[in-house]
Structure 1
């Protein structure tokens, strides 16, 4: 006679649901999925086996474990012998830390580090398995200026609500924007493409140095509006024109502009700044704090690997691509979550 699955009890089911809501390793999530379905008491054992792709014995083992040892016991991996992992404990944590910092350019670099720290040799294929198991993935590093000050960047994040509150004091309507500029030109942008192994892919190229600038401003919250301006060059007078465009988009509101400290940006006390605009500068050398950087990357991707006969033709294509990303739902997706949270707790929008 087959075993039945009695109810787990409300308290234990609650513990399972709380653990399920947290981020878990794949193996832990599989165990939680099994006992979660058992706790819901809606599926038969055969159905749970099919949904979770486990054996009948596994269903009962996980169920018995969570009943006798709780969720903590269920998520405790018991080592049953075999080869001892080369990386474990504090050494594995150190390896993951270096992986997150991008210290390994190749699998061979990770292999050399493991050999130096453990005096054990792992094959390169074995090292790749370790890298994948720990979430490693080959990525192209982003340029980071040597003068970047991480402490100042973190300080800016923490002080942003207070600064916004001070700028928005006694203002009935406040709109917060992030602003940046990107250069485009007839020199093609080359990006990766899908191709079959063993084939050499080419992209059209020409050496023509003619360019213009796209000014972009994205609203952090509220309507998630987008303002764009094409100009042949950049200087403080042109920057004043773009600030005036933002100010005139809603004359009855105060506009707080978060931007970098480029030399052609107007200083906070410049007379050319519109009366309903306030400037909030970012720390130096910190483009990762500005979501507009992502917007510029998407525009470059849209016009990559192509030749354009004239700057006007290129601008039409850029404008079409920009309008697609200027929709409110797309703008909302580009804004960093930390920035949206800080803006909401610092000033009304």
Structure 2
């Protein structure tokens, strides 16, 4: 077979060698060196052998170089099989996943790959294996995730309005005596920690069912926690009950953590023991701002509890109430000594106000 001449001559053999030295892809570098050898007068067989290829392969790369230059020497990704669903059909499948199944129509309360495969066949007449449906979902940006509980009485508009108008709500919570003072935003919540502990996900062999200890007794304590994301500060108490008297003690602890000369706005839910009154004493350097009802996801301390349970308090058996208190103290103290973790978990872009 006659050799194909190199017709693209804007780069000399020396320049091709320089490109090969600087090129990050070793395969492209080998092809550049082979072309340089050909331009220097070496036989095609010698040039191909020197660069780890056969003569036919070098012939193919000469064709590509003549047509596209150095760019043509890159490996091309195989296009793969043509998708069985059009872009419009894939968009419709994505809308099914976002809205969830209709129990009356689809007969299921959550999508599985087999359910989507059946609906795709009914709707479009296209048969997809479950594995192909999984690949489609990943390509559309979906992943299999744990769901977060949502109260049926939650007002989505009130939740969004709270985030949108957060700066105005903070300003409205301030008394006249706090006007002009630098502000700190604190978030507060309580968690019950006890012998009926939590279990979290662990790494284990595929197909196995890992086991973890879980107590069957019922002693518990309440961990009152508050964080200031901007400072990475934290204040907590472990108490036997959750009531106004316990909340008053926690308020005093938070008050002592507020920077001198600052005023704190404490954001918290609407629990009965969080309401101002005769039994709840609010320090002078703290003002309360309550979250909308049934919207715990607005409170970043919920994520603090998740972090503590996953990393300190789960998979444990507590022999006594004192052991529960000690575990809570150790977990919170470890968190308090890591302000960067507090900032990363509790910071919210919509909660940024000029403090």
- TM-score, structure 1 normalization: 0.73
1:330 aligns with 2:338: no
The answer as to whether partners of 1:239 and 1:266 remain within 8 angstroms in 2 is: no
The answer as to whether partners of 2:212 and 2:315 remain within 8 angstroms in 1 is: yes
Q: 2:157 aligns with which of 148, 151, 160?
A: 151
Alignment of 1:64-143 (within 5 A): 83-89=82-88, 91-101=89-99, 103=101, 104-143=110-149
Alignment of 1:298-313 (within 5 A): 298-301=307-310, 302-313=312-323
Q: CA deviation at 1:228?
A: 0.9
C-alpha spacing 1:52/1:176, structure 2 compared with 1 (3 Å): farther
The answer as to whether partners of 2:186 and 2:264 remain within 8 angstroms in 1 is: yes
1:289 and 1:296 mapped to 2: Cα distance? 14
Which is worse superposed, 266-275 or 129-138? Answer: 266-275
2:347 and 2:121 mapped to 1: Cα distance? 40
The answer as to whether partners of 1:178 and 1:258 remain within 8 angstroms in 2 is: yes
Unaligned stretches of 5+ residues in structure 2: 1-5, 12-17, 33-60, 73-78, 102-109
1:43 and 1:338 mapped to 2: Cα distance? 47
Q: 1:246 aligns with which of 250, 254, 259?
A: 254
Match of residue 33 from structure 1: none
Q: 1:204 aligns with which of 201, 204, 213?
A: 213
- TM-score, structure 2 normalization: 0.71
1:230 and 1:52 mapped to 2: Cα distance? 64
Q: CA deviation at 1:109?
A: 2.2
Structure number with bigger Rg:
2
1:3 and 1:262 mapped to 2: Cα distance? 80
Give the length in aligned residue pairs.
292
C-alpha spacing 1:229/1:271, structure 2 compared with 1 (3 Å): closer
Instruction: After superposition, give the CA deviation of every residue in 1:53-88 in whole Å (9 maximum; x if it has no partner).
Output: 9x98899969989xxxxxxxxxxxxxx896343141
The answer as to whether partners of 2:184 and 2:264 remain within 8 angstroms in 1 is: yes
1:3 and 1:139 mapped to 2: Cα distance? 56
Q: CA deviation at 1:208?
A: 0.3
Match of residue 15 from structure 2: none
1:161 and 1:332 mapped to 2: Cα distance? 19
Unaligned stretches of 5+ residues in structure 1: 6-41, 66-79
Instruction: After superposition, give the CA deviation of every residue in 1:147-195 in whole Å (9 maximum; x if it has no partner).
Output: 1111111100111111223445623221111111100001132222222
Which secondary structure state, in structure 2, belongs to the residue aligned with residue 152 of structure 1? helix
RMSD: 3.5
1:125 and 1:253 mapped to 2: Cα distance? 58
Instruction: After superposition, give the CA deviation of every residue in 1:89-135 in whole Å (9 maximum; x if it has no partner).
Output: 3x322322443456553211221332233122211121111122223
The answer as to whether partners of 2:244 and 2:273 remain within 8 angstroms in 1 is: yes
Match of residue 47 from structure 1: 23
1:270 and 1:43 mapped to 2: Cα distance? 79
C-alpha spacing 1:183/1:47, structure 2 compared with 1 (3 Å): same
The answer as to whether partners of 2:196 and 2:218 remain within 8 angstroms in 1 is: yes
The answer as to whether partners of 2:238 and 2:329 remain within 8 angstroms in 1 is: no
Match of residue 232 from structure 1: 240
Alignment of 1:282-293 (within 5 A): 282-293=291-302
